Structure 1
Amino acid sequence: MPKLSVIIPVYNGEKTILKTVESVQKQTFFNFELIVINDGSTDSTLELLAHLREPRMKVLSYENGGLPVARNRGIANATGEFITFIDADDLWTPNKLELQLAVLQQHPDADAVYSWTLYLNEEGTAFHQGEQLYFQGNVLPQLLLSNFIASGSNIMIRKQAIASVGYFDPTLRSCEDWDYWLRLAAHCAFVVVPKYQIIYRQSTTAMSSKVEVMEKHLLIVHERGFRLATSELQFLKNQSLANIYEFLAHLCLNYISGTNGAKQAYQKLRQAIVLQPSLLLTKKTQVLLMKIGLILLFSPKLSERILQEVKTLRAKNLESINTYS
């Protein structure tokens, strides 16, 4: 039976690390090693991990180097034929490893597999579904348009593919996963497990201060991605850039409070529409415009109450996650 390496990079993850490790321990596939890279944590992360009785787990501690460096350290210590990552605040459904490995074994020509994502609220009480996507084979065109993989807690890779792609870029402080998936897609075929298996925890911690950092790195990765692409794919460049600005508008609206956030969101969305006017015909853009309008027209408190009601209606109870396994 092939051996898997599961890598968890963690920095000050005392609030969530045990739940993340537990979701790995509950996997229906058992033959894996669990490598936890402690990236210079100063909280009780190490103490919590020390109390776990898990013979497949080893905890390696380093000075803080950032997420890409921590993932690279995990790769360097991995002995498995297949490698996958999970961030220290995310979760998996119990069959994630089993089904992803099975699909890779059924497709020896593919080097990477992904699944669908559920988005969990910060309190861990409710979630909503990400898109159901079926992109397979050469997925570079779709990845150039957006990071549909959604997070670093998703993909499983054949270790042999890393030899041709290399490691995560340690100079990137954001979007390093999209950069890596693009490089993978330029060399490797992808396959999909058409099930919701990744539970991505959304966090508002310092997000407002990160919007500018994210914009900077999104544009860097966007430029790099199109350098990888053939001339036949360059026509996607404007659409890709428009998707970036629409995503940034969403971040501004959700993580920068009041009219300031709405004004910044409008500026980003306007840039997106100038680049790709057809966005105005999409439901996603229309909903964003409606939210921005609500905040600018009404008091922040009233608009927040309306938007919260909409979120509550969309969200599903956490208990129903079990139906996706």
Structure 2
Amino acid sequence: MQPSPLISVVLPVYNGADYLRPTIDAILAQTQGDFELLAVNDGSSDDSEAIIQSYADSRIRYFHHPNKGFAYTLNRGIAEARGKYIARIDADDICMPRRFEKQAAWLEERPGTDLVGCFITFISEKGEEQGEWPEDRANYTNAQIRKALPYVNCMAHPGVMVRTEVLRGFPYLESQKYLEDYDMWLRLAGAGHVMEKVPEMLLLYRVHTASMTVSIIKKKNVFFRHFHCKRRYLAGRLAAGRLNAFDVQVFLGMCKDLVTAAGKNIKQKL
């Protein structure tokens, strides 16, 4: 039986063949090589499976199931993880060579930190740099992230590394489709978990026509999606009897989202 790795990399794949190979190549080239790569195929109909199986690296563990969605696929990867830490990555993004090394060292040196992210740079379909995400760069300490989250998502999902025992206590929710990550950050912050970032650019985040960022997040009514995400989060907190000061800020952010969304709808109709 192989010893448990330091890091389990959870890579959900759904029809990701166009960009999957450079994503895997960048993972396998990490300076911190004590990891397992859990490639979880969510019923892809393209060449994703063939690409994954073309690698002979013993660190790759391959799983597949019929299409069940993003949350299910992530939760399966987490359940299969054997590492002390879980690193997230999507099938179209690229890790900088020292990402795992720096994030694992951050968590090793800071036992009170439960999740560590990093700065990202957007890239195009061709890999050309497209700029930075302002909310990402402006919020990297726990205090800054905690202050921003009730109003805006400031954490890049495929760039985080989390303590495995913490993440297993907060499974992704299928009810929060398209905003599974934002809901996760709210639940972690609401429960008092510490989230920080290595203040360095360690991930190239690809934006293309088929990506969630384009197809969902940049839709004009994204504020309605955020409103409902926060509403469902608060309903869960209320049902559990755990409302706190952070949740009050989430409620204020939810109200702001509703007003903004309604204003955009009115403007579109004029």
TM-score bracket relative to the smaller structure? 0.7 to 0.9
Determine the C-alpha separation between the residues in 1 that align with 2:71 and 2:65. 13
Maintained 8 Å contact 1:36/1:59: yes
Shift of 1:117: 1.2
The structure whose Rg is larger is: 1
* Counterpart-to-counterpart distance in 2, 1:270 and 1:155: 37
- Aligned-pair Cα RMSD in Å: 3.0
Question: What count of residue pairs does the alignment treat as equivalent?
Answer: 253
- Structure 1-normalised TM-score? 0.69
Q: Do structure 1's residue 190 and structure 2's residue 187 form an aligned pair?
A: no
The Cα shift of 1:6 comes to: 0.1
Name the CA shift for 1:241/1:87 in 2 (closer, same or farther; >3 Å).
Answer: farther
- Matched residue SS, 1:171: helix
Equivalent-residue separation in structure 2 for 1:120 and 1:66 (angstroms): 25
SS of alignment partner, residue 171 of structure 2? coil
TM-score (norm 2): 0.82
* Residue pairs, 1:131-146, within 5 angstroms: 131=134, 132=137, 133-136=139-142, 139-146=145-152
Letter in 1 for 2:244: T
Greater helix proportion: 1
Task: Find the partner of 1:160 among 157, 165, 181.
Answer: 165
Read off the aligned partner of 1:111 and give its amino acid letter.
D
Structure number with the bigger relative contact order (C-alpha 8 A, sep ≥ 6) is: 2
Deviation at 1:175, TM superposition (A): 0.6
1:200 shift after superposition: 1.0
Q: Does 1:91 align with 2:99?
A: no
- In structure 1, which of residues 6, 19, 27 is the aligned counterpart of residue 9 of structure 2? 6
Asked if residue 41 in structure 1 is aligned to residue 55 in structure 2, the reply is no
Counterpart of 2:226 in structure 1 is: 218
Q: Which of 63, 66, 79 matches 2:66?
A: 63
In structure 1, give the amino acid aligned to 2:227.
Answer: L
1:173 is aligned to 177
State the shift of 1:90 in Å: 1.0
Structure 1 spans left out of the alignment, 5+ residues: 249-263, 272-325
Name whichever of 201-210 and 87-96 sits farther off.
201-210
Rate the CA distance shift 1:159–1:208 in 2: closer, same or farther, 3 A: closer
Structure 2 counterpart of 1:27: 30
Percent identity of paired positions between Structure 1 and Structure 2 = 27
Shift in alpha-carbon separation, 1:64–1:216, aligned structure 2, 3 A: farther
Deviations 1:212-249 (A, max 9, x none): 88555422222244555524662564455546887x8x
Q: Deviations over 1:58-91 (max 9, x none)?
A: 1101010111111001001000010011011111
Give the one of 105, 109, 127 matched to 1:124. 127
